[in-house]
Structure 1
């Protein structure tokens, strides 16, 4: 595809697809050019560096999140919906967590998300500085919750590239982890449960994301109640 028929949007969307398939380490201009049916030089004509391409790809996936109408729902419903949709977006794009640790990321997609989050927690009753902290707390919790599944995707991909049997390797690691855990009483007690046997020792308990999010928002509600003037609703 000649460079004058490519658009930046086409390139960025193809980059997101390549990142989803190959991870951050699998993204390069030559592979991207092949996906687009174009020479790598045609890509460079529009986007000069890989860092810039990653920044644009990251901002594109932030725009996937459908943000709730703050005039139509209460703040806690909006907070739960926003956090859940963010968690789902991170699951679709497991490379994003790695990008956070290696690139400077900014753009209108992320700015839209951040502005909405601040408005949400101001609506809850937090003053601006605490709204900043509340939004950051929830985002950090969501990012942390997504790290485990993302790391497993990355590990499986790396093992496959090296020619190792990823499934066998992971099963061996889980077995060794369970053997170590059996030496500790509370971990040993949990090893024999049906959920642990079905999911594997290293898996997070079912509904841990929902449990943690409820706990965070419960804490916010308690803090707001403590700071609300007497008699106020």
Structure 2
């Protein structure tokens, strides 16, 4: 009879399990992964897969998905350009604001949806708004006037970009939203779909209209 020595027998589990370092990732890695998935639709599981870690590992840095959303918004806000101290005029400042709003919507898919679905999203750009307000104050605009102009232009750009996204989207059959609009509009309709609807041409026209209005009156919010 063979003698079995339990103290020397190697467990198959122990043989196959190798000790190693836990996968290392940073808060910025999580932010980048979430933004890569889409700010409006990322899941913790998808972020974990991108990083090559278990979903539970993310909780070492973030307590919830909402915390990741906030971190993403802060990351985006940090990259928004603000007026130089010697900015020529208020028009230049507000045009910069409009351009930056459009840019971040283009650079970070899903942002426009989150801005409208996450109630406190706008608070993450408080520092940016304050910088614009200070610059506008040099041109005799009050904080409340600045807030009105920034809010009006920001709303216009984000809402328009949301519409543009729907026209750009492609469904499983390869049909774009713009194609569906053309199919839905009758030949005699006053609505004439144009390719410019998929870009920012209409937005620029709206912004120019707002700026022209501000030349005559600056409401307060």
Question: What TM-score do you get using the length of structure 1 for normalisation?
Answer: 0.73
Alpha-carbon distance in 2 for matches of 1:55, 1:69? 27
Deviation at 1:143, TM superposition (A): 1.3
CA spacing shift, 1:76–1:29, aligned 2, 3 Å: same
Alpha-carbon distance in 1 for matches of 2:176, 2:87? 49
Alpha-carbon distance in 2 for matches of 1:82, 1:29? 32
Alpha-carbon distance in 2 for matches of 1:112, 1:150? 28
* Number of aligned residue pairs: 198
Could you say which residue in structure 1 is the equivalent of 2:106?
91
Alpha-carbon distance in 2 for matches of 1:18, 1:62? 19
**1:36-185 superposed matches below 5 A:** 36-106=51-121, 110-152=125-167, 155-156=169-170, 159=171, 164-167=172-175, 171=179, 173-179=180-186, 182-184=187-189
Q: Which has a greater percent of helix? A: 1
Q: Which aligned runs of 4 or more in structure 1 are off by greater than 6 angstroms?
A: none
- 1:59 and 1:108 in contact (8 A); partners too: no
Could you say which residue in structure 2 is the equivalent of 1:8?
27
Could you say which residue in structure 2 is the equivalent of 1:227?
none
2:37 aligns to what SS in structure 1?
helix
- 1:70 and 1:78 in contact (8 A); partners too: no
Alpha-carbon distance in 2 for matches of 1:212, 1:56? 31
Question: What TM-score do you get using the length of structure 2 for normalisation?
Answer: 0.76
- 1:76 and 1:217 in contact (8 A); partners too: yes
Alpha-carbon distance in 1 for matches of 2:80, 2:72? 14
Deviation at 1:168, TM superposition (A): 6.8
- 1:79 and 1:120 in contact (8 A); partners too: no
Deviation at 1:183, TM superposition (A): 3.5
Q: Structure 2 unaligned runs (5+)?
A: 1-20
Larger Rg: 2
- 1:91 and 1:150 in contact (8 A); partners too: no
Alpha-carbon distance in 1 for matches of 2:48, 2:199? 41
Deviation at 1:174, TM superposition (A): 2.9
CA spacing shift, 1:48–1:142, aligned 2, 3 Å: same
Could you say which residue in structure 2 is the equivalent of 1:24?
40
Alpha-carbon distance in 2 for matches of 1:169, 1:98? 17
**C-alpha RMSD of matched pairs (Å):** 2.7
- Residue by residue over 1:169-201, the C-alpha shift from the partner in whole angstroms, topping out at 9 and shown as x without a partner, is 763x2343232xx333x43xx56xxxx3xx28x
